[in-house]
Chains A and B, each alone.
Chain A
């Protein structure tokens, strides 16, 4: 059974994929699906849910449902930016640290240790204060700060593969570093990286929501999930239910990302387990079965 099929066969994986696909759809089509102009103000402020305004209106009379849909794009793009930045800045040096010699290894390890020590939310706020109020730069920096996770995961997986006999054989046969990474290392690093990716996606959503909750990263009146939650909290006495929709969207998306990470882990565990049941060649190290999965 393929990885995709096994992922889909798990209830957690299936529900996570459905939720994330819906969120992606909101990000792509949200502004088009919004029934009203999310920035249009009216005199009908702080109104309850109705046929015209499914989730009521906010303090300036704007349609909350439309703002929620429109705000999806910023939240999703921000989370994706964190994840992809972390992947590129973490996984590439993580793999290369095994192959490019001791100096590169030492430098990247120390750099990673330093990055781990920095609180990323606080650092993102500092970067915004320095470079101006923009989510892009904040998410890029946050991505770099989250990258040690990818560095360590990819390095650990690469180390396990690099010492395997078939890689040594490839090296002796004159294979280039690029060829070895593409054909042997990458396939072994992919499963743990996929878990880390899903995990980081959830973290990315939390970070974007936290920053926008604090009013950082976007300029008003641009709607965001975190921003909607924050403004709703100011009017709890008028609309006690109002924070529920944005809060549900944020928590639901983060939960889906984490469920997906769990499901990928379970699926990769299954793969490893099924391979381990195969008769292992004599003298193989415990790391070798994963290397022989193909």
Chain B
């Protein structure tokens, strides 16, 4: 079962290419057709957000969708117990406050009173309990692996008492938009229907969903912070080919879009506001140490030394990215400077290790399995060729199944990170981590180090050091070679005001469109 994963943004080209022509035609025809109907997009008022996204939700049930990039779209209609502020700290959302017990193994969230879901159901602790239990138990849940610290939830009116399996001060950060967007319990009784017709208590309610293509949402007057939502309507569109997004923005088909770094220059030239939303993105080369040849440490180390991270940054991010050798970019609280450059680019060392492992140049052949065309794969192929490893790239449209079943030996992955740093670490290095291709393998010191980090309150002065120690322990893994961090890059019309810089999130609170 695919875990709480992040779809790779880059390798979507083949899938979207097929729709490019249709989308271009639609873009051309849309104005005339809507004009014929007497309901042009302008008629919706100036406060219409027209957002083209490359992560259009395949699932509108947050339990099925998981923690990937599509959570940003789902956050339009679902609210969570918490959200993050500009520092990345958890702040109140549906929960107005929370409190840990003295032992740190129980946390009580006080849910705001008087709120209701868009189907009229009350927002209360019972809804929180139902949401957690569904995420833990629903057959197709992509979130159950993230909730292992939660034993049970007790509903006491507006108080949701979360009983934990261990001391874990990450829970308020964990139960934010990525992991616990809360759906109406009544609607969630029919998960299949919810998957196409979302019912939440977020800032907007969905009025129309065209699966895989478009969703229309209107402002939710019952949202707890409705007074600070200044957008009346949202038209969320699945972005066509990257090369046409800027044209769409320029011509007003969209006024907001996530863009590829290679389009940034064109967008700037077109007079659009191009901005980077801070985030935790990190790409990696995933190795399976349970399969040959990666069951030989020398081969793993040879791959590590063969990787030139700067080449990924130069060729793929157009100056917007950074190289990284950890599951987040440098500067993040959990980034361990002491572990930086542990395996620098050293092709000579790589060749020596391969020779020690018994491989002559060209003798070691690997199959790199990826879901779609990806220039990063071609860079990996070229870099490994330089040390004598012959890589064949295989595109498997059904890649997710063998990847999350840990059946692949060699692949690529990219994450947008998690709000909880510990969740990021366990997802990559933990024995059941969805991004650990070598499950159940984990570095020997990791369980103790990560438990220490969990046990440390976030406001404790030792928290950062504990986190970095857990990162250091995790980086002893032989299963992952981190490469680069791509930016969360967006382009918008200048008529849309600046967004809060909440890392990895898109928060529409206070944002205005066209001076509304």
**A residues apposed to B, CB below 8 Å:** 39, 41, 43, 45, 59-61, 129, 133, 213-216, 219-221, 230, 233-238
Contact with A along B349-377 (1 / 0, CB 8 A): 00000000000000000000000110101
Q: Across the interface, do B17 and A214 meet the contact criterion of CB distance under 8 Å?
A: yes
Q: Across the interface, do A219 and B395 meet the contact criterion of CB distance under 8 Å?
A: yes
Query: A-B pairs with the 10 shortest C-beta distances?
Result: A237-B266, A215-B14, A41-B382, A215-B373, A221-B378, A233-B243, A220-B393, A236-B243, A219-B393, A234-B243
Q: Chain B residues near A216 (CB, 8 Å)? A: 14
Asked whether any CB of chain A lies closer than 8 Å to the CB of B297, the reply is no
Q: Chain A residues near B186 (CB, 8 Å)? A: none
Asked whether any CB of chain A lies closer than 8 Å to the CB of B381, the reply is yes
Contact with A along B10-27 (1 / 0, CB 8 A): 000110011000000000
Residue from B14, B246, B392 with most neighbouring chain A CB atoms (10 Å): B14
Q: Given A215-B17, A220-B373 in contact, is the A234-B262 Cβ separation under 8 Å? A: yes
Q: Chain B residues near A61 (CB, 8 Å)? A: 315
Contact with A along B104-137 (1 / 0, CB 8 A): 0000000000000000000000000000000000
User: Out of B17, B375, B393, B394, which one reaches A213, CB within 8 Å?
Assistant: B17
Q: Across the interface, do A220 and B378 meet the contact criterion of CB distance under 8 Å?
A: yes
Query: Closest residue to B311 on the A side, CB-wise?
Result: A43
Give the docked Cα–Cα distance between A129 and B399 (Å): 12
Q: Chain A residues near B458 (CB, 8 Å)? A: none
Give the docked Cα–Cα distance between A43 and B383 (Å): 13
Known A60-B382, A237-B262; further 18 A-B contacts with Cβ < 8 A: A43-B311, A60-B375, A60-B378, A60-B379, A129-B397, A133-B395, A214-B14, A214-B18, A215-B14, A215-B373, A215-B395, A219-B393, A220-B395, A233-B241, A234-B243, A235-B262, A237-B243, A237-B263
CB distance from B185 to the nearest CB of A (A): 39
Q: Chain A residues near B17 (CB, 8 Å)? A: 213-215, 230
Q: Please provide the chain B residues from 266 to 311 with a CB less than 8 Å away from any CB of chain A in the complex.
A: 266, 269, 311
Residue from B377, B381, B382 with most neighbouring chain A CB atoms (10 Å): B382
Taking chain A's interface residues, is the majority helix, strand, or loop, or is none over half, making it mixed?
loop
User: Out of A60, A219, A221, A230, which one reaches B394, CB within 8 Å?
Assistant: A219
Q: Across the interface, do A238 and B377 meet the contact criterion of CB distance under 8 Å?
A: no
Q: Across the interface, do A238 and B262 meet the contact criterion of CB distance under 8 Å?
A: yes
Number of interface residues of B (CB under 8 A): 30
Query: Closest residue to B316 on the A side, CB-wise?
Result: A59
Q: Given A213-B17, A233-B241 in contact, is the A238-B315 Cβ separation under 8 Å? A: no
Q: Across the interface, do B262 and A221 meet the contact criterion of CB distance under 8 Å?
A: no
User: Out of A133, A219, A234, which one reaches B13, CB within 8 Å?
Assistant: A234
A selection of 28 A-B contacts at a CB cut-off of 8 Å is A39-B382, A41-B378, A41-B379, A43-B314, A59-B375, A60-B378, A129-B397, A213-B17, A214-B14, A214-B18, A215-B17, A215-B372, A215-B395, A216-B14, A219-B392, A220-B373, A220-B377, A220-B393, A230-B13, A233-B243, A234-B241, A234-B242, A234-B243, A235-B243, A235-B262, A236-B243, A237-B266, A237-B269
Q: Across the interface, do A59 and B262 meet the contact criterion of CB distance under 8 Å?
A: yes
CB distance from B250 to the nearest CB of A (A): 12
